[in-house]
Structure 1
Amino acid sequence: MKNIYAVEIDFANKLGSNAEKFQYFTSILRSILQAAAICSFEIVKGMTPSTQDDTNVPHLLGRFSLPSDGLPVEALDVLVPIIRSHVSKTYMIGWFEKSSPNDQTLAQDLLSWVAFRNKRPAHGVLDKNDVLIWSQRLEMIATRCLQVFATALPKRNPDQTLHTDIGSDTMTINTPLVQKDRAVVISKVTTRKGVWKMHAQSLSWIEAVELTVDLGDNSIFTPSDKPTEKLRLSEIPYYLPATSIFNNIPIRQTNTFVGRSKELGKLQEWMDEIEDSRFCLIYGDGGFGKTTLTLEFFNKLLEGDIERPKHLPTLISYYTAKKTKWTDNGLIHFKGISDAMEDSVRELLHFLYPVLGKDWYQIQGTPLIDKIAGEFAEQGLKRDDILLILDNTETLATSVKEVEELSEFLGKVGKKIGRVIVTSRRREFLPATPLLISSLPDDEAAALMSRLGEEYAAKAVVQAGEARLRNVCKKLSNKPLLIDTLVKYVARSSSSLQEGLDQILRKTNDELLEFLYEDAWLRMNELAREVFLVLVNVVNPVDGNCVGDVCQEVGIQHIEFQSSLDETYFATLTDFGASYDLEIVDLAKEFFRQKLRKFSSAEVDKLKNIAAKVDNKAFGRQQVEREYKLDRVADGFRSQFAKAAKIATFKGDLSSAKENFELALLDEPLNAALKDRYALFLLHHAKRPLDAKPIAEKAVELDPKNSDASLTLALIHYELNDLNAGDKAINVAKINGKPGTLCYLRQGMARYHQARRAPYSKDSKEYLKQAELLLENSLKSADQKYFHYEKNRNDARRYLEMVQKLRFQINRRDISAGNAAQQSS
């Protein structure tokens, strides 16, 4: 890649004007920095000790969903010290070091560039003097980057894959940073239902082609474990002030959103009306796109594509009507409006608590609202800082009495906790700003149909003129759902537009759905059908993990089933990107039950057995996750200062986190779990193992049976190169309940890194021998029920491979040294 960039730098220097040079050098520098950061992320993932706890690295990596120009610089500031500590002491020499006493470091030069770029080209006025000065400076910075990043930038193999040489090792780079002999500029990284894609442009002044590339299971962006936080932190790319929002907003429901600018504008106006309105009611008939509009708006908000509201919330919680839910008391079925509404406000508490204790489920109604309001007030959050979005509320209340209860409950939430957005098919009785979602205007409906025709490759739709499309849309009441239904049917059946329209118009809503179900059923393969027939028998709430379990049992790839699902109207899917929730609609459940009646009793029993197995797996996951969080987190974050420290750590505000941890310890000086969390913070986030050691030792002293504290102390000893003390602490952790697979893994990793620090010392071979044995024991003792089973297994396999590489390197040197000695004698 170094040669690719050198060619582009030479090309940029030959451009005719300073303005052209400025523009293209900006793109070149953006690509170089992204490549250097991505390679560093890959090295950290592949060659440094992994942790079971959050660090800055996942947070920085997550921001590549929409990378800013300052992100690679910020990331390298974190990654370079980690790599120098564990892999190569000479990695990127020049990043923090000056080339001469009067120069700035490369990091400082790049920070100056980012500050200028944010102030002038991005948000200000760029004059010709700026262009003249910075076109020259950018050329020098880009050239210097190539010098500093020379060994880090990947090289191409004959099969076009990438690798990088780090120290004396070679490591595969899995991120596709070169496409068709050109470097790329990453515009965003997205995930939908667990499938990750990288959106980029090729680095070219002549033709910057837009690219979308699938990322495999080994991608650094693909999480190795199911996320344990219910809320994620999204950084909003506004200029100043920098803003982040905790949220659980699902991703867009469609890639073909058209029009609705008037409705989006009204919703934006409501966001600004902080003093005037606590509620916004988005209502209208089914199929007009209430949920689609809501998710489009908030995804635009999180991406910074909507003008910054006067007051951005700190927390946005999205809640869709559910019938079942995992709680501290296991799986419960909601029986009334009260249960569901109380669950929606309890979800807000995950901002403060990883696990909700039973006391939160023992109070209902107004006392629950008052207690939650008090919790947020203690954190300094006002009502305008919290936004609750309730989707499809018409399903929660059907009788007149229930509707009244719903309105009364929501009124109290809006008055005491935060602002509320409600989507419903009915005009709820709320003092709300109303936003009616009705049929699309003729031109927008026709535009939507045209785009859908291209999306689904519906030949008859693509070939139709605009007048014909408008006429067809009018007959469908310009309803987006019916337009989508027609286009899908035309695409699947290869029928004419009129034939598809006739099929839809002659049927009632239920008949239409049954017709579409049958059509989709006939087009599915046998394995996809089996998955649906199993899912309809699953008792637990169905999410991506459950679907994956069913696919595994049936023998179909998860992604193949997802493709079948996308062509149907069988289920309502709430997509959070890396995960999703799925609920089969009632009419589809009855359709599947009818199909089941045609199966033999043996076949039905087989499907029900698979469903029972999936239910057991789901129950096991929930139990393990709950126990994991209770053991490792809950007791450590009881006080307000501790919660503030956790939130500040999540945001990357390390100084504030440290201050709050210390204040929390003044409140609870004998809380061993809190001391353990603080020690882990100092070790992994602040990179201060010497400061972490006495805190961890005190945690073990206070609670000798605390396996987490013993494990943290072991990791600190390993970081400080004290294998004996680390082994002693980790053995205590094992005795007190830590899985053997994890303990063996940590011991093996520690020995590998000890050998790597001095590969040619007399002890290195013995360390590698011990590491290999311990890592093999980790794999042999692995238990699938453990929360981090897959992550630990993958780490053990990866470190075994690294051990073998290092042993080969040492042996090769010994043979070379022996040959040289023989020749000299």
Structure 2
Amino acid sequence: MQKIYFRELEVALALTAQAESLSYLSSILRSLLQSLSISALETVFQATPTVDDDVDLKQFLDRFGQPSDGLPVEILDALIPRIRGMVFRGYMTGWFETSPEQKENLVTALLSWVEFRNKRPAHGVLDAPTTALWAQNTAELIRRLLIVAADALPTVTASTLSALVGDVVIPISIPLVLGGECIVIAKVASRKGIWKMQGQVLSWTDAREVAVDLAPSNIFATEEKVLDKFKWREVPRSSKSFLVLNNIPGRQTANFVGRAKELEKLTAWLKDIADSRTCLVFGDGGFGKTTLVLEFFNNLLEGSVDGDFKLPSVISFYTAKRTKWTEEGLVHFKGISDVMEDSVRELMYCFSPVLGKEWYKVEGRALIDRAVTAFSEEGFTRDDVLLIIDNTETLSTSQVDAEELGSFISQVAKRIGRVIITSRRRELLAAEPVPVSQLSEVEALLLLQKLGKEYGARAVIQAGEARLRQVCKQLMWKPLLIDTLVRYIARSSSGLQEGLDQVLRKTSDELLEFLYEDAWARMNAAVQEVFMVLVSLASPLDGKCVGDVCTQIGVQHAEFQSSLGETYFASIVDHGDSYGLEIVELATEFFRQKKRRIPREESERLDKIAFKVDKQAADRYEIDKNYRMDRVADGFRSEFAKAAKIATIKKEYGKAAELYDLAILDEPLNSALHERYASFLLRTLGKAPSALPYAERATELDAHSADAWLTLGLVQYKLGDLKAGDAAMEKAIKYGKTDQLCLLRKGIARYHVAMHEPYGKRAMPLLKEAEVLVTLSAKSGSASDFYYQKNKREAEKYMYLIRTLVSKINRRGVVAGNAPQRN
């Protein structure tokens, strides 16, 4: 973090206006002090014993709900002596101490800064002399603090943050760095049991607002920890309150949207004590089954579920899930042995925080008998007990296991208490079904908008409803994927499309495993091979292609369709005598990942099958082509170009180049096609020499095309030919391009030439020309032009770069001029 703060300090000092410099320096110091105070609090909590009569740490943490500039100084002043005495004697040496160079210690200087901030910028007037003085003072304070706190500042390693205090490593639970940028904390608060931190990234160019979920174990969650797994909860009722002994975890989200039908079904089942003993909540991974159940039972414990029906006296929540998707990726839970019996043992913790060894000596029916006896002795009946088992699909991977699981749960439901289970599949047991599928379009849109606003995802907030609906569809209306997208956009400040690329195409193997591994494990080997071949095909997927693959693998087409029906891998469009198949992008990448992991000879065998099936599809296409020769010519002519564009969007650049070549062979006189190919070679592949002949040909075929002349000019500039590029830009202006755009490109071209030879003779003249051209560009244009704002921002950016380079050259010239002359 020290390097990040030094980098931002340089940015602040480079600002020409003193007022701007002071403003940003104050933000840097605010962020730095907050980071150090959080680090000190973490150190005290993790590495020092609790002292009852010591500093009231909770009041410091509570004040982070609205942190003032003086709070971090107060925290450090109180905690540094404690850390020095109990952890590391050399912690932040210089905080209290003075030096020959500094007559005033650091804490006194910082208190003076706090007093100045409260007196002048916050409640008074800043004049020019005071601004200049405190800009200098604040910069000096930041330098001193970065030196004094070099070891106290956390270090960023991969995705973790930790501080090394002496020889003690202190993990930091608060994300003080996001995307390589530090944070200014504005608020830390808990809503519905979920802790969130709100603030802004420390950036002069884009100080975007961010909101981050904090781990349940973060230092702000300082409530007294209950050692017992179960606790009594008084549930308010319309007649009188009711006590429930439970271990229900907190909600998984503060932004629960929709699911009214599912919540009503759970309420109806809970009321129906006489007839239904078991309830099955089932659906695909990422649809929010666990989130739904926890939302329902947290509402129940808060008294928010309508109705005055009888409540269970004991509610136990047990997770059989071996993995959980978090912001840090996939977390694996280990040590789950015989988990069916463990779910009953978990229930018995309601009587004692420690189970005796007798509970581990019995299993199956004997364990159930012992549990029934224990509840009976405490005066509970089977209607007083409710057991929730989460993610039961992890408990069985075969038909025999599934039958055994169903039998065990039925026994528990009959004898111990009612049971709710969640699963990604329809388990083999008699249960009230509560299917959890995709969100509705309205619900998904609402969730996306709410999350975008909460996390400060600018691209989501600014997008129109139509675009957001399209995004929800691409994410299969899955709450998990919607949440993942919004968090990525908020942290990276990227656009919607880039975020979708990250989630749908560049997502980690861990997320794919989380979503699809259990369904994959339930398929037989032959069906798995069918999927691995299907994602290797170049042909469009339809019933005929799938049938060909099944024939080659040796599996019945109906068996494949049956396996497909149990998953959410693909969408099927029925055409009557055939069907179209579209495998969702995440599942496609999952199958490719599986194919990469099999032995090489097996992978090559599947590739040969894919090649053979593609050839069969091509033969069918040729037959169809000959049959419809009279109306294919026009459509086939544009198909190559369309396919090239699609391949470019998918970033299959080699394939795109081949398709462009085929398109040009088919349409040699199409000027626009030549211009698009030249643009692809230049912008996407960076091959200006290859782009030149296509750009020149485009202008020859259509001498009045502004786009063709613009692209030719850009190619010439990339090749370093300013004269030819300027001539092309003049033609582009003549035939319709704006002065704003073309003047900007002229200026940018000169800047890049000067950058390659900054101390050459023509560097300064080129930079002066560039400055004039960019200035003219910034002043020209019309606000009604679609690209006006974009070009204006680009002009401002290059004006800064040009002036920075001029300043750098001038400084070198001054140094050279003052050097002693040699005889």
TM-score (normalizing by structure 1) = 0.35
Q: Between Structure 1 and Structure 2, whose CA radius of gyration is higher?
A: 2
TM-score (normalizing by structure 2) = 0.35
Bigger RCO of structures 1 and 2 (CA < 8 A, at least 6 apart) = 1
